[in-house]
Amino acid sequence: MSGLRWTTGWLAFGFLVLGLLFAVSASTEDSSLVLDVGRFSSSRPGSALPDGWKPLTFKKVPKATVYELVTDGATVVVKATSDAGASGLTKEVKIDPSVFPVVHWRWKVENLLTGSDVTRKSGDDYPARLYITFQYDPEKVSFGRKLKYNAGRVLFGDIPIAALNYIWDTKTPVGTVVDNAYTDFAKMIVVETGATKVGAWVEESRNVYQDYKQAFGEDPPMINGIAIMTDTDNTKERAIAYYGDIWFVREGR
């Protein structure tokens, strides 16, 4: 999105500085099989945000996406309504992807964006996104990426080293992995595309560990942030999406 420097450029990673006071922790000593990140279904419908999540807004985008807890069928979910605007919901976490490599979530979109284009800055809008960001670990980062990361910190302060951006696109084939239009520190992974499933709940599952290795060519460091976002500030369109529960599980890498 041309006007959304916080999410599509280096500042995409700066939102973790706004993180919460409490984090979800997962270590090799954790014996549980499931790690909840967004248990929206246990919330009450209304205007209050889900526990542990906070708004992500952008100074250069005057109109924010509206997020609210609503009942869809018998389940409480997050509804996102974006009308030529953009904002997200974020949660600070601490998850070891070598222990909990697989993320699961549910989402539904009511429409696609005609102007969405994963290859262009002007088309970096999507009806639904799930972000996963990673903290800087010098022992797991190549020399070249260290130099770029340090240059970014000079400009933007404390930032994560990388982000995986799972998107519902309009036309790009499922499975496509490309650099974000603004920075190669964020990778776009198309998990849904086209109108076939519009209006239906879709269950997703991704191996974050393997996705990171494919996207960045090295083992992932700790996960330090999760975000959901529906945005239309560049295309000036309108989108409505719904997000269900998000959780990680212990499965083989």
Q: Of 105-109, 146-150, 189-193, which range is least confident?
A: 146-150
* pLDDT for position 151: 44
- Closest by CA to 194, choosing from 202, 206, 186, is 202
Q: Would the pTM of this model clear 0.85, i.e. be above it?
A: no
pLDDT at 194 over 70: yes
Instruction: With beta carbons less than 8 A apart as the criterion, state whether 108 and 202 touch.
Output: yes
pLDDT at 160 over 70: no
* pLDDT for position 82: 97
Please report whether residue 253 resides in a domain: no
Tokens of 121: 């800055």
Please report whether residue 251 resides in a domain: no
Please report whether residue 91 resides in a domain: yes
* pLDDT for position 6: 39
- Encoded amino acid at 123, one letter: G
pLDDT-derived band at 114 (thresholds 50, 70, 90) equals very high
Please report whether residue 19 resides in a domain: yes
More confident residue, 29 or 20: 29
Instruction: With beta carbons less than 8 A apart as the criterion, state whether 167 and 189 touch.
Output: yes
Share of the chain above pLDDT 70, in %: 77
Please report whether residue 149 resides in a domain: yes
* pLDDT for position 238: 97
Q: Average of pLDDT values for 135-147?
A: 61
pLDDT at 153 over 60: no
For tokens 């973790």, the residue is 16
Instruction: Please provide the average confidence, as pLDDT, over all residues in the chain.
Output: 82
**Total of domains in the chain:** 1
pLDDT at 149 over 90: no
* pLDDT for position 184: 74
Please report whether residue 248 resides in a domain: no
* pLDDT for position 21: 30
Instruction: State which residues form the domain around 24.
Output: 5-198+205-239
- Closest by CA to 198, choosing from 162, 168, 163, 167, is 168
Q: Of 15-29, 33-47, 157-171, 175-189, which range is least confident?
A: 15-29
pLDDT-derived band at 59 (thresholds 50, 70, 90) equals confident
Please report whether residue 138 resides in a domain: yes
Please report whether residue 246 resides in a domain: no
Q: Of 58-62, 164-168, 182-186, which range is least confident?
A: 182-186
pLDDT digits (tens, 9 = 90+) for 214-252: 999 889 999 999 999 999 999 999 999 999 999 999 976
pLDDT digits (tens, 9 = 90+) for 67-111: 999 999 999 999 999 999 999 999 999 999 999 999 999 999 999
Q: Average of pLDDT values for 195-205?
A: 97
* pLDDT for position 220: 93
Instruction: With beta carbons less than 8 A apart as the criterion, state whether 23 and 92 touch.
Output: yes
Q: How far, in Å, CA of 246 to CA of 253, rounded?
A: 19
Q: Average of pLDDT values for 31-36?
A: 84
